[in-house]
Amino acid sequence: MVADTDVAGRVRREPSPCESTPVRLVNTLLTAYGFLRTCAAMRPPLPSLFHAVVLGMLSAATGRGDSQLGAPAWLNAEAIDGDAESVERGFQSSDDPLALDADAAGDDGATDPEAETGTAEDDADDSEQEDAEPAQDELPPSLLSPRLHQFGPVTGEYVYTGEVFTNARGGLNTNDATEYRGNLDLMMVFDLAQVGGIHGGEFFLYGQEGHGRGITLDHVGDYQTVSNIDGRRILQVSEYWWMQSWGDGLVTTKLGKQDANADFCTLDAASSFIHCSFGLIPNVPLPVWPNPGVGGALFVEPSETVWLGAGVYDGTPDGRTWGWSRLGADGAFCIAEAVWRPALADGRLPGAYHAGSWYHSGDVDDLAEGDSHAGNYGAYFLGEQMVLNESGDPADDQGLGVFVQYGWAPPRYNAVPHYFGGGLLYKGPLAGRDEDYLGLGVAHAEFSDQMLLGSPAPVMAAVRGAPHLLMAPLASAGPTAETATELFYTVQLRPWLRLQPDLQYIANPSGDGRDAVAVGVRLEATL
């Protein structure tokens, strides 16, 4: 993993002094702000955005509301959506919800019959409007006004994720071993029932910008990758697909450029971890971020407890393209999965158990001999189960869950023939912190002994779009393995803002490296 190149083999350009981490971060935030401001045709002063972020963090720390801290009125949804008069009222707060009604009724409190008639008509109009428009409380919590997230049939979500990690000990080096990585995700869902009368259909559009770099390639040297957002610098349309539901949800189809890991080989309990292997086990070569692939998938859900899925995707996708120029040129990736979702203890302890297999029709190299062969394959098993529900309410997911992962692939063709993973996730571990998470997980990748039989040449493996250099150990050393242990705590500062301190211990990085200790913190903001 000494080579610092992108997926195409080009050497990465070192950033100039003017492209330092703080400057790149500010530029990204300014770009995101400009985009959102244009969409909403708003004209608040630029400092107000940073004012709002600071207010959110202060109110989370002090327990005081936004109005007590002087939140700018342009963040008030009522002030934005209303006319000039309502905007003016946005600067005025009243503890009495009947204050405006009393003023409208007059000093003597008398009511006007015509006003009552008008009110009834207005209520009818409001009811029709509520039926026609999606409820704002269905939207995810966010910093900005709901107007920025709902444009008629279009629902938008904008997320910024930034993290700082340092290699505190071992690995490749600890000199200047602190790096910043950030991602800006812009997602839009088009309700096709409102756009073209296609009921049960939706179109998804996903744009991404990634900047900075992680610590895996230059400092830790691990194979599995410390962070699940580590990768090359990107600015691309990562996904666009059409999903259609048939037969009241019995069958669902999905066509377009997509991240297959969103549907296959994934566990909800493992998604809160930062280490890459918990999100995608390392010996299942799915088309994933930053290289989603064009393809199609079919899902069947005959009952609440059974789910079946199958998909076919481009075998060697490049996320920087639309995905059609070389579609199928280097084979296809096929996958099938079955899921059983039991609900134990009268629904209080839900679980999910996955069994899947995959096949890649492209050429693959023999690790020992170097010869090329057609076809690669493997299988995996995943499981997650809630074991403690604090409240006993099936609708409440606060409590302790466990998960396990296993992946197998032929050792002749795959650097990692066996992978074992597992962990614990507790939601609401502290009193009064119901939305916080505490997690502990272990990811163990065993390297193929076939690398001991042939030439000691390094094995190149592309992980998350970045080439990893896996050195073959001496024959006397025997097969080797890499084990990563992660401990984290996620603090929900605001409904739209979370902070996640993270500690990882990586034993034997890439099979023969010095044990490393990675320390970091991630911030995720839903704009």
User: Based on the number of CB atoms within 10 Å of its own CB, is 355 exposed (0-12), middle (13-18) or buried (19 or more)?
Assistant: middle
pLDDT band at 247 (very low <50, low <70, confident <90, very high): very high
Is residue 502 a contact partner of residue 274, using CB atoms and an 8 Å limit? yes
Span 396-438, pLDDT tens digits = 889 999 999 999 999 988 989 999 999 999 999 999 999 999 9
Rounded to an integer, the average pLDDT of 232-236 is 92
Q: What is the CATH T-level fold of the domain 17-28+149-526, as seen in this structure?
A: Porin (2.40.160)
Amino acid at 16: S
* Candidate from 78-87, 187-196, 280-289, 450-459 with smallest mean pLDDT: 78-87
E strands within 170-212?
Answer: 178-191, 201-212
What is the predicted pLDDT for the residue at 71? Answer: 41
* Candidate from 36-45, 335-344, 373-382 with smallest mean pLDDT: 36-45
Span 259-303, pLDDT tens digits = 999 999 999 999 999 999 999 999 999 999 899 999 999 999 999
What is the predicted pLDDT for the residue at 452? Answer: 61
The set of long-range contacts for 24-28, using a CB threshold of 8 Å and a minimum separation of 24, is: 24/182, 24/211, 24/212, 25/162, 25/180, 25/182, 25/211, 25/212, 28/160, 28/182, 28/184, 28/209, 28/211
Buried b (16+ CB within 10 A) or exposed e, 79-104: bbeeeeeebebbeeeeeeeeeeeeee
Higher pLDDT, 369 or 299: 299
What is the predicted pLDDT for the residue at 128? Answer: 46
* Candidate from 126-140, 438-452, 492-506 with smallest mean pLDDT: 126-140
Rounded to an integer, the average pLDDT of 333-354 is 95
Q: For residues 466 and 189, give the distance between their C-alpha atoms in angstroms, rounded to a whole number.
A: 30
- pLDDT exceeds 80 at position 227: yes
pLDDT band at 19 (very low <50, low <70, confident <90, very high): very low
3-state helix, strand, coil in the chain (%, to 5): 20, 40, 40
pLDDT band at 465 (very low <50, low <70, confident <90, very high): very low
What is the predicted pLDDT for the residue at 56? Answer: 46
Q: Considering just the CA atoms, what is the radius of gyration of the chain in Å?
A: 26
Span 98-154, pLDDT tens digits = 333 334 344 444 445 444 445 555 555 554 444 444 444 466 677 777 778 888 899
DSSP state of 60: H
What is the predicted pLDDT for the residue at 232? Answer: 87
Q: What are the domain boundaries of the chain?
A: 17-28+149-526, 42-132
Report the percentage of the chain scoring pLDDT > 90: 53
- In 3D space, the residue among 231, 131, 200, 163 whose CA is nearest the CA of residue 21 turns out to be 163
Rounded to an integer, the average pLDDT of 460-473 is 47
In angstroms, the Cα distances linking 232 to 54, 110, 205, 327 are: 30, 68, 21, 22
- DSSP notation for 66-109: HHHHT--GGG-HHHHHS-HHHHHHHT---S-TTHHHHHHH-TT-
What is the predicted pLDDT for the residue at 250? Answer: 96
What is the predicted pLDDT for the residue at 147? Answer: 78
Highest mean pLDDT among 88-92, 100-104, 493-497: 493-497
Higher pLDDT, 87 or 295: 295
Has this prediction a pTM greater than 0.85? no
Q: Which residue's entry shows tokens 């230059």?
A: 218
